[in-house]
Structure 1
Amino acid sequence: MGRTLFGPLTRWLKDPPPSFVFELSEAGIAWAEIARQPKIAFAPIERDVISVSPLRDNILRPETLQAQVRTLVAADGRPRRRRAALILPDYSVRVTVLDFDSFPSDAFDRLSLIRFRLKRTVPFDIESAALSFQAQPDRAGGKRVDVAVALAPQEIVSRYENPFRMAGFHTGLVTTSLLSALELVPAHGVNVLAKRTGRILSLAVLVDGILKLARSIEMDETSLKEISSHLFPTLAYVEDQLAARPDTIFICGFGVESEQTGRLLEAALGAPVRLLSSRWGQPGEFNSGVLGYLETVKDF
C-alpha cells in the first residue's frame, strides 16, 4: 500500500510522530495537535456528509467535508505538507485475525498467503484492496503466528484521505478507531474491549497485548439487551478457544450512562467491567482513536 499503513501497528511505529491526528465518524471529526500538551478538539459535521459502510463510498458530500477539514487547522505558510495520522470509522474497514501454523519470512509470500485465505470471505476485489497486516508471533516461542489484517476497498480509503491531502496534509498513517483505541487496553492478561460509536459496536479480544479477535457490528438498536447479545458470543469464544475467562471487559462510548451500563453488564456477563481511560481524558464515543494514538506518542 505504499505510504498508507493499516493495522494495529502504532505500538511498533518507529517514525517521528506526525503533527496532527484526525478521527472521522458520522458525527464529526475529533482531532489533536501533537504537542507537549496536546490540543484535543471535536468538530461536528452535518448528518449526511459521512455514511459509514464497508462496501460503498462513505463520503456523500466531499465538498462539505473538505471545507470542514480546512477550518480545523490554520495553514502554517510552509510549502511542505504537514504529516497527519488519519483514523477511519471501524465499520468502514474489515479487521480480522488469521492464525497460521507457520508464516513465511518473505513479504511477498506473506501477502499472497493472506490474500489467498481471505479471497472468498470478502465481498470485494482483494487484489486491488487496501490491505496491511501485523504478524504477532507466539510469545511462548512456538511457530504459530496470529496475523492481524486490516483491509478495505481502496476507493473508500482514498475518499477519506482526499480532503486532508487537499488541505495540505500527508496522511502517512491510516488506521481505524478500534485499532488505535487498543493502545488504551493493558498489554497483560485477557482483556475484552467493547466500543460503541453511534449504531456500530466494535469488539476486540487481546491476550497479553496480542489481538485474537476483532469485529464491528451494525446494531438495529443500541439497547443493553442487544449489546449483551453480541458480547455473550465473544465471551464464549474466549472460554472455548482460549480456555480462559476475561480479566477485564473495557467499555467505551456509552455516554453519560457509561457507569450504569458497566454495572449492568458486569452483572449480566459475570466479568469485571471497567471504563476505558487515557492519560489525556476519558475516551468517548467519537475520540477514543485519537486518545489511543496519543498514548503511543512518548516524545512530545
Structure 2
Amino acid sequence: MSYEEPESNNLMSNPRLLTAIIVGAIGLVSIVGCVAIFFIFGTRNQPPTQGTKVIQVTKIPTSTVTLTSVPSATKQPTLDPNKASGGGGGETPTPDLTATFINRPQTRAATISEIKGSVQIKSPIGGDFTTVTTNVTIPAGTIILTSEDSSAKITLTEGSIIRVGPQTQVKIDQLGGTTQNPVTKLKLDFGKVWSIVGGSLGTGSFDVETPLGTASVIGSFMGTETNPTEELDIITCLEGLCKYFNAKGVQTLTTLQQLIVKKDTALSAPTKMDTVQVNDWSP
C-alpha cells in the first residue's frame, strides 16, 4: 500500500504571498515613521505664537470748562455732633428767612383824622408847629396842640383811639412794644384826652402822664384832664378798670368812677361820675 506525501504549508513555498506580506510591512512601517517624523519635527518648526499686547487708551481731554457752583446764601443743614453722640441727633434746621420776615412784629404808628378847628403838630426833630387839615401819620415824639373849639382823633396801629379835646397839648411820648403787646405813653401838658383801648394790652400798657401823676387804662375807656393853673387832675373811668398813681400813692377806679387829685394832697377815694361827666365823655 502506498501513501501520498501531503502538501507543505510553509510560507516560503509561496513567493507571491511572501512578497505581499513584505510590501505590507514596509508600508505600515513607512506610515508610522511619517507620523512620528511629523510630530517630532513639525512641532519644533512651528513658529512661536504672537503675544497679545493690550494698549490702554488715554482719555482725550475735553475743552469744556467745568463750572464751579455759586455758593448759596441759604445754609445747608449741618449735623450737630453733640446731639448725634447723645442719642438725640439730628440736623440743625435751616432758618426760614421768608417766614422770619413775614412774622416780624409790625411797627406801631399814629394817624390824625377827624380834624376840627385849628389843630397843629410839632415834629419830634424840632421846628415850629405846623397846621394840619388832612389825615396824616405821625411818629412817636410828635406834639399835638388844639385851639379853642378844636379837636382831633388819633388812631394807633393796633386800633386804640385817643380823642384830643379843645385847648389841649399832648405828646405821643412812646409807641413801643408790638400790636399784640402795645406800650403807649402820652404826656398831657394841659387840657383833656379820652383814651379807648381797642383790645387786650397783653403784656403792654397805656399810660397818660400829667404834671401831677400818671393815669393808666387797663380796659377800656378812660378820660384824663389836667389843669396846670389850678394844679388839678381829674380822671374818669367810663368803663372797665383804670388806675392813677403819684408820689402820694395809688388808686384804682372801676366803671363810672372818677378821681379828683390835687397837688401835694393824699389820694382820696374814687367817687361816682356825674351826668355832665358822662355826657362830656367822648367815645
Q: TM-score w.r.t. structure 2 length?
A: 0.23
Which protein is bigger by CA-based radius of gyration?
Answer: 2
Structure having the larger proportion of residues in helix: 1
Higher relative contact order (CA 8 A, sep 6+): 1
Structure having the larger proportion of residues in strand: 2
Q: TM-score w.r.t. structure 1 length?
A: 0.22
